[in-house]
Amino acid sequence: MDRKTPDNAVEPQKTALIVGASGGLGRALTLHLSQRANVGTVLALSRKRPEAAWSDIDNPKIQWLQTDTADQADLQDAARRIGDTHSRIHFLINCTGTLHGGDTDPDFKPEKALAELRPENLHRCMQVNAFAPLAALQAFAPLLHHDEGAVAATLSAMVGSIGDNHLGGWYSYRMSKAALNMGLRSAAIEFARRRNGPVVIAIHPGTTLTPLSEPFVKRHKHRPPEASAERIMTVIDSLEPEDSGKFFHWDGSELPW
């Protein structure tokens, strides 16, 4: 979402914030935005320093801040630190999410049947997938209200669409993403009541090969994180104020709630 700039004017440098920068898509989006001429700074938040992509290159645009992106107090502290040096954020992209525990926690995995639903797994999904992105939006909201246009995009999932649910299963993950979508919709309505509020959207990135999705993508056509990052930014660049509160597919089409 770019405001018109006169031909003889220099476009102001934008600031991007990636929450969950150590994941596959978070790293790809961080690097993608750092390569844009109109982006001056990419603030990358994650609990641990990424081990690949941009973490091992000398890129002065990228500033990494160690932050527990699932902890409300830690996010508020990160917002205060960033606010000391930056008066506004133009892109906030939240990439946090959880689906399974991998080899270290095999009991945490998508449920195939209602009988497999466990409160501890549901709570974990709700904390990371639903609450944490809203806590980040809450923390950084003051930096998203300005007259240069801002977008707050959160990675959701098509399986969180109630209208598109034809297969069932995956109770905790589906429920947490549906809850996330409702929270984003409410935040978009709230921000629209204030002048110069951000465009708030949920976006399904498509099947992307990352550690989160790797156990489940073998039967599906998928793409690398770099390709998904480019497509996500294509959708973000095309947004208009009236798109706030919508749920988008990676190709720009609108998904049912």
| Rounded distance between C-alpha atoms, residue 72 and residue 137, angstroms | 10
Please check the confidence at residue 83 and state whether its pLDDT lies above 80: yes
pLDDT value for 49: 79
Residue ranges per structural domain of the chain: 14-249
Q: What is the mean pLDDT of residues 68-80?
A: 97
pLDDT value for 108: 85
Please check the confidence at residue 208 and state whether its pLDDT lies above 70: no
pLDDT value for 57: 58
14-249 CATH, one of 1.10.10.60, 3.30.540.10, 3.10.129.10, 3.40.50.720? 3.40.50.720
Burial class (CB in 10 A: 0-12, 13-18, 19+), 253: exposed
The beta-carbon contacts of 207-212 under 8 Å, at least 24 apart in sequence, are: 208/24, 208/25, 209/24, 210/23, 210/24, 210/25, 211/23, 211/24, 211/102, 212/23, 212/24, 212/97, 212/98, 212/99, 212/100
Percent of the chain with pLDDT over 70: 85
List, in sequence order, every beta strand (DSSP E) within 20-140.
Answer: 39-46, 62-66, 91-94
Question: Which of 8-17, 50-59, 98-107 has the lowest average pLDDT?
Answer: 50-59
Q: What is the mean pLDDT of residues 46-71?
A: 80
pLDDT value for 150: 97
Enclosing H/E stretch for 121: helix 119-125
Q: What is the mean pLDDT of residues 229-244?
A: 96
Using DSSP's 3-state secondary structure scheme, residue 32 falls into helix
Phi then psi for residue 224, to 5 deg, are -75, 160
| Rounded distance between C-alpha atoms, residue 161 and residue 59, angstroms | 38
Closest CA to 124 of 91, 99, 95: 99
Give tens-digit pLDDT for 111-128: 999 999 999 999 999 999
pLDDT value for 127: 96
> pTM to 2 decimals?
0.88
Distances (CA, A) of 93 to 4, 20, 131: 22, 9, 15
DSSP string, 216-234: G-TTS--B-HHHHHHHHHH
Question: Which of 1-15, 147-161, 162-176 has the lowest average pLDDT?
Answer: 1-15
Q: Position 49: which residue type?
A: R
| Rounded distance between C-alpha atoms, residue 48 and residue 21, angstroms | 9
Q: What is the mean pLDDT of residues 41-52?
A: 85
Burial class (CB in 10 A: 0-12, 13-18, 19+), 217: middle
Please check the confidence at residue 220 and state whether its pLDDT lies above 60: no
